[in-house]
Copies of this chain bind each other. A is one copy, B any other.
């Protein structure tokens, strides 16, 4: 028989487009259990717990919860706090005062560490308590899960953006570099491959942080594509670094000179640094870059419906695992065939403090593109509705002047 008491749910770290689906999954499912008296939402992650900043989500209307579910970014607000021993004590002073017996924390790598710490504290202090981490990231860098809720929608945004950049670059040819989020893992950058429809579509090159970035090879790759297609679209992860782990932005920023020969001292924008370097080494006119930035994690009109229902189910399963089955852990998504998902529970200590990177089988041997295997991996995650481009197919007209 599971514990009687109250639930606290909170959200930590950077937002995603579907993070509130998990929140609403926890709330609606928890409210069904007779053991649960109240479902509280902590405002601002773990910070909201020690401040006793709770909303009584038991009193939230179902319609409003469904509207909030469709809203990107953390409805309960967020924090970057990582609790230490003293912080944990304060958390449990509050949990005890409010008879909180279930804690659900929706977050990324930092958040699973937080749940692990909190749960260990509960065990050593003898407080009967269940804690579940519900994964969310746009980077897809959590281990022991096929993928993470939040990734599919961000990937859809990246793919749709590259569809547009490719069409734009085809109409007004040149070299275009799109810089995508992802410090250590290239999944999101790699998602740009879904923009390729016709054989000559971009991205023609994809650089992920899983491979050392060599500036000379990059220039030579770009030149080769530009010679072949008369244009070149490049997807670059913000996290690319050289063989010594030095970020490329830092490397180029500290050594490059501007058009007047002045040392560039404080330029930090990776895209513009790469543009500058190409302009100095390849004889071409039109070189541009875009840094996707924060748009990619909270754009409400480019959400994957698969990502959406998986985020919801992850929240529901979290409530079921803990309240029915009395278990702690981190929710994982296990892929079945092509394509279904089975939700499992991983041990917190197996997930905390680890970062998932792209499998070797996902990256082309030259290290500047992805494989067919990766395409099959990512395609179901972005759901339906990606709007690709269609070209005119009419025949050319015979030239009469032929000048």
Contacts and interface: CB of A to CB of B under 8 A. Distances in A.
Interface of A: 11, 14-15, 38, 40-41, 50, 52-61, 64, 67-68, 70-80, 90, 93-94, 97-98, 160-161, 163-165, 167-168, 170-172, 176, 258, 262-269, 272, 276, 288-295, 297-302, 385-397, 399-403
A75 B391 contact: yes
The 6 closest A-B pairs by CB, nearest first: A164-B298, A73-B167, A300-B387, A67-B390, A258-B266, A54-B397
B390 A80 contact: no
13 contacts: A15-B172, A55-B392, A60-B394, A71-B389, A73-B164, A74-B171, A77-B170, A98-B400, A161-B299, A167-B298, A168-B297, A176-B294, A258-B266
Contact of A60 (B59, B268, B392, B403): B392
A164 B72 contact: yes
B401 A94 contact: yes
B168 A294 contact: yes
Contacts of A289: 293
Contacts of A290: 291, 293-295
A311 to B, nearest CB: 16
Nearest to A52: B399
A153 to B, nearest CB: 11
A71 B295 contact: no
Contact of A15 (B15, B74, B167, B390): B167
B394 A52 contact: no
A54 B396 contact: yes
A275 to B, nearest CB: 10
Contacts of A386: 301
Contact of A263 (B40, B265, B298): B265
A56 B395 contact: yes
Contact of A401 (B52, B55, B172, B268): B52
A52 B79 CA distance: 61
A383 to B, nearest CB: 12
B41 A163 contact: no
Contact of A40 (B40, B94, B397): B397
A56 B397 contact: yes
A176 B15 CA distance: 15
A268 B263 contact: no
Contacts of A64: 390, 392-393
A71 B402 CA distance: 31
A70 B390 contact: yes
Given A15-B167, A55-B394, A302-B302, A265 B258 contact: yes
Residue from the set A172, A269, A393 with the largest chain B CB neighbour count within 10 Å: A172
A162 to B, nearest CB: 10
B294 A295 contact: no
Residue from the set A176, A258, A289, A302 with the largest chain B CB neighbour count within 10 Å: A302
A318 B295 CA distance: 37
Residue from the set A15, A164, A263, A302 with the largest chain B CB neighbour count within 10 Å: A164
Residue from the set A14, A294, A395 with the largest chain B CB neighbour count within 10 Å: A294
A277 to B, nearest CB: 12
Given A292-B295, A387-B300, A268 B264 contact: no
A56 B395 CA distance: 6
A97 B15 contact: no
A290 B181 CA distance: 12
A42 to B, nearest CB: 10
Contacts of A98: 397, 400
Nearest to A303: B387
Contacts of A258: 265-266
Contacts of A396: 53-56
